[in-house]
Structure 1
Amino acid sequence: MKFSLKSIGSIVTAISMMTMAVGARADETPDVRLFNKFTTALQGKTIAFVPMSYGMFLTDGWAHVMKEEAARLGMKFVTRDPNWSTTAQSQAVQALIQEKPDVLVIHNLNVQLLARQIRQAQQAGIYVVQLNLVSNQISDAYVGADYRRVGREIAADLVEACSPQKGKSGKISIVQGELTNAASLQELGGAMEIFEKHPEIKIVSNQAGDYDANKSRDITQTALQQNPDLCGVYDFFDVMALGAAQAIKAAGQQGKVLLYTTGGGQRMACDSWDAGMFDRYWDTHTLQQGQDLMTTISLILQSGQKPGAVEMAVYTPVSVWTKENYSRSLCYDLPNQ
């Protein structure tokens, strides 16, 4: 086999370049290589967040963590506030698809609203992460509580606490969230799995409070009037449950009628607990969810997978406050609040 001077020169040049590359890799320690991969994947990337609304502890808490972590990681954080409007949320997501952030984080107002746009975003090369409320359309990741499990746990606790075998009436009132809200649907589904196995428990009221404290108060007030021996109220969200607590107190039943609820562990929850409003509290840990969200985003960006190629879930920890383990240190405050 004969080689021309030109071909030999090309081979020598290629070998030299390979040698230099191998030398560079050899000088790069594993920790440096991992760090470089990490920073290359994240730095300069844009995260866009569209919550249901701002002005509530959950979304303000998540945004606080995302903003701080994005700054630390050299990323850009942008957000839109639909202020509880389905139209505004859909329009905000559509506009962001055109702007093409690297990651789109959505907090679905209902299970169907953004299903089509989730697919559109992924087709446009945008990773989509659903936060705490899942859509009918699965995206690259879901980060949030397992609300079916929460529903099962609360129902099981109420079955035991309100059992006629303990001299209780077995009567329970349920105040759901919004009828097409994912968390509300999942909690109810999980709870009914338990209640349906216990005919001794009577659900005397099961209505949607739409996350409105006034509606929760009215629903609970009626349930108490119609059932003076009501044993417990299961209200799906702590801010809404303040209304149920008011109705129970006004009826002179505080400490007698149980009130179980869920929330993110903000300072208001501790204040309400200290006032005797709640008897059990399932804490979804808002700030920890924010950290878990950012870790998930980091892993997605480092994965090298195309948007839509992977479906994953990160079910975040939930803990239960009781009279035995409660402490004000369980709650959080945000700066300037």
Structure 2
Amino acid sequence: MRKLTIVLALSLILLVGLSAGAAAQDIKIGLAVSTLNNPFFVDLKDGAESMAEEMGVEILTVDAQNDAAAQLSSVEDLLIKQIDVLIVNPVDGNAVVSAITAANDAGVPVITVDRAAEGGDVVSHIASDNVEGGKMAGEFIAKQLNKEGNVVELQGIPGTSAARDRGKGFNIVMDKYPNLKVIARQPAGFDRAEGMTVMENILQGNPDIDAVFAHNDNMALGAMEAISAAGRSDEIMIVGFDAIDDAVEAVKEGKMAATVAQRPTLMGEMAVETAVKVANGNEVKEYIPVPLELITD
């Protein structure tokens, strides 16, 4: 009787193990990325896909190429393919609500990563504290300029939580110091070429600039090119955000003063880990923070 009990127990354990393995294999995750023209989001995608492979789950990735309408269409395609969980990195926090609502209506849980949504039912948001990151950049600039000087802010895509929150944190610091003046604030779409063009125009109208804070490294690198072409590299410090490889290299070479590191690969990994938990019916935190670091050398 004892042997029979042991055999039955072992059989049950094996059956549960096989069922759990089968459940993992059956999980299908949809990943909707804002754009893969940005190295930051390529790293996020790579982290997500690597973790999906490690955990033995399927992941389907779509690229909206910074087009909110395209993101809605691609999410609808993912839903037709019967994904179990949707991870979305919004092009626009307001526009993405339609896509999230579509997932909600289909009974598919939604996780947002890096950028938040302005509505819909989201089970978890995974991101760095962008307000805190903006403050880190602002305090660094204030310290380097001895709390006095003229500063330019290159803003990201209007409507994204990243642009709003990084700008908020930065300007909280700027407002603390009366002798630090933000003499220009202009959006440059988180884009390198646009960052260069916008910075060229700002340079023409402002002969006295001490620092530039860009809401991401692509814009910072574009600004760096414009400043270099104008022969003003020795006058103007540049601080970016994201710590992409080109920016980290520029910091090491002394062409940029600093960048705020977000660790996008880790974001992608954490998003997939969270998605698997959700698919298995486990509770997850509404907000999961990703650590920040200021890179200055």
Match of 1:13 in 2: none
SS in 1 for 2:287: strand
- 1:57 offset after TM fit, Å? 1.6
**Is the radius of gyration larger for structure 1 or structure 2?**
1
Q: Which has the higher contact order (CA 8 A, sep 6+)?
A: 2
38 and 287 in structure 1: CA distance in 2 versus 1, 3 angstrom threshold: farther
Q: CA deviation at 1:120?
A: 3.0
2:169 — aligned with what? 190
- Give the drift of 1:209: 0.7
Rounded to whole Å, the distance in 2 between the matches of 1:59 and 1:162 is 32
Is 1:313 matched up with 2:287? yes
Task: Provide the residue aligned with 2:217 in structure 1.
Answer: 238
Task: Quote the residue 2:32 is aligned against.
Answer: 50
- Provide the residue aligned with 2:139 in structure 1: 156
Q: TM-score, normalised by structure 2?
A: 0.87
Look up the SS of the partner of 1:130 in the other structure.
strand
Amino acid paired to 1:117? A
Shift of 1:67: 2.3
Given candidates 99, 118, 138, the residue that maps to 2:100 is 118
Code of the aligned partner of 2:67: S
Aligned match of 1:260 = 239
Instruction: Find the residue that maps to 2:165 and give its secondary structure.
Output: helix
Tell me how many residue pairs correspond in the alignment: 294
**Residue 80 (structure 2) pairs with residue 98 (structure 1):** yes
Write the distance in 2 (CA, Å) between the matches of 1:288 and 1:115.
25
> Which residue does 1:297 correspond to in 2?
275
| Cα distance in 2, alignment partners of residues 184 and 232 from structure 1 | 18
Equivalent residues of 2:87, 2:113 under 8 A apart = yes
Letter in 2 for 1:318: L
Q: Deviations over 1:190-248 (max 9, x none)?
A: 22222222222111001101123233223323433443331110011111211110122
1:64-95 superposed Cα distances (whole Å, 9 cap, x missing partner): 22223222322111122222222211111122
Q: 2:187 matched to which residue of 1? A: 208
Unpaired runs of at least 5, structure 2: none
The runs of at least 4 aligned residues of structure 1 exceeding 4 Å deviation read: 19-23, 25-29, 35-38
Specify every segment of 5 or more residues in structure 1 that has no aligned partner in the other structure, as ranges: 1-15, 324-337
Amino acid at match of 1:50: A
Taking structure 1 as reference, are residues 280 and 27 closer, same or farther at Cα in structure 2, changes over 3 Å only? same
Which of 111, 125, 130 does residue 142 from structure 1 map onto? 125
Query: What is the match of residue 178 of structure 2?
Result: 199
Q: In the alignment, which residue of structure 1 is the partner of 2:69?
A: 87
Q: Where does residue 8 of structure 1 map in the other structure?
A: none
Identity of aligned residues (%): 19
Task: Give the CA RMSD over aligned residues.
Answer: 2.8
* 2:192 aligned partner, one-letter code: A
The Cα shift of 1:141 comes to: 1.1
Task: Quote the Cα distance in structure 1 between the aligned partners of 2:218 and 2:273.
Answer: 28
